Chains A and B, each alone.
Chain A
């Protein structure tokens, strides 16, 4: 819980008691450093990111420590996850020959998903991905990866040509269209990749905060009780929506990553 919501619930601020609605704001996304390591302040989102990495590491270690032909227990779950990413995300874009990128896509998908899901875990209740630094860092990794893959499969000049020359366009329109194609492939892609994830998680968390705080604030022995109940109902419905969004955003992030890799390895286009 962020500092502001702690303050609100602790203060017992309610409607008709003379205090205004403590609206959540962007300040709720800034945390005091918990401790510092070598001068670098460690805040809650950083801890959450490390925790997400640790959860994935431990889970997959336990799942595939002693792999058996007939999977049981954790291994079953792990295989379910890996096969989902392979069949629903990777092979949709790259086909069978993309299987060598499976570890990368699995890592991306689960890392983003766990960081998103922190939005809904009681007592944690904060998606690390709603801080722009994490989506931006991930997008940078994806950007470097697909450009490197493109240059290795087609050579720097061939890849540049593919990114600058849209296929099927007549030659006389190229001076107009090539800058857009290049701009879209090199700059817009990583930016939209990062901002889509960041904005979705930020707005989702803010929505939950608005209605969560409102159901506490509106609570009083008056008509406010009805308002509070409505607000609480909305909190529950929006939490359900967030369950969907957290998975969907991780899915889109991983899908687009494999799409960009596919675009970089594709020969004819």
Chain B
């Protein structure tokens, strides 16, 4: 149990992710959805196209998942 600090340069794929990392993933997905969902909602109100709200939420979810992928696969 040396903690994560011993692996400064990249993550050893054989080691499990440190606890707390999972909560970061959750916060990326929630953050992405809230942020771009809000942007999409504003855009939907201004343009009168309600479809922009779900589009924004999907975009936010995709960004959150992209961030998770980059975080896990960083080398």
Given A192-B26, A259-B23, the answer on whether A179 and B3 have CB atoms closer than 8 Å is no
Q: Across the interface, do B20 and A167 meet the contact criterion of CB distance under 8 Å?
A: no
Given A176-B63, A259-B20, the answer on whether A184 and B32 have CB atoms closer than 8 Å is yes
**B-contacting residues, A151-191, CB 8 Å:** 166-169, 173, 176-177, 179-181, 183-184, 187-189
Distance of A150 from chain B, by nearest CB (Å): 15
Could you tell me the dominant secondary structure of chain B's interface residues? helix
A179–B60 alpha-carbon span in the complex (Å)? 10
Determine the chain A residues whose CB is within 8 A of the CB of B73 once the complex forms: 168
Q: Across the interface, do B31 and A92 meet the contact criterion of CB distance under 8 Å?
A: no
B40 within 8 A of A: no
Distance of B3 from chain A, by nearest CB (Å): 4
Q: Across the interface, do A95 and B63 meet the contact criterion of CB distance under 8 Å?
A: no
Which of B35, B63, B70 interacts with A167 by CB under 8 Å? B70
Q: Classify chain B: how many residues form its interface, as a range.
A: 20 to 34
Which of A96, A168, A179 interacts with B70 by CB under 8 Å? A168
Contact pattern, A 188-218, Cβ under 8 Å of B = 1, otherwise 0:
1100100000000000000000000000000
Q: Flag the segment in A73-81, A118-126, A260-268 that touches B.
A: A260-268
Determine the chain A residues whose CB is within 8 A of the CB of B66 once the complex forms: 169, 173, 176-177
Interface of A toward B, CB cutoff 8 Å: 87, 91-98, 166-169, 173, 176-177, 179-181, 183-184, 187-189, 192, 255-256, 258-259, 262, 266-269
The 5 closest A-B pairs by CB, nearest first: A259-B20, A184-B31, A168-B74, A95-B5, A95-B3
What are 24 A-B interface contacts by the 8 Å CB criterion? A93-B3, A95-B2, A97-B5, A166-B71, A167-B71, A168-B73, A168-B74, A169-B66, A176-B63, A176-B66, A180-B32, A180-B35, A180-B67, A183-B31, A183-B34, A184-B31, A188-B31, A255-B20, A256-B23, A259-B19, A259-B24, A262-B20, A267-B8, A268-B8
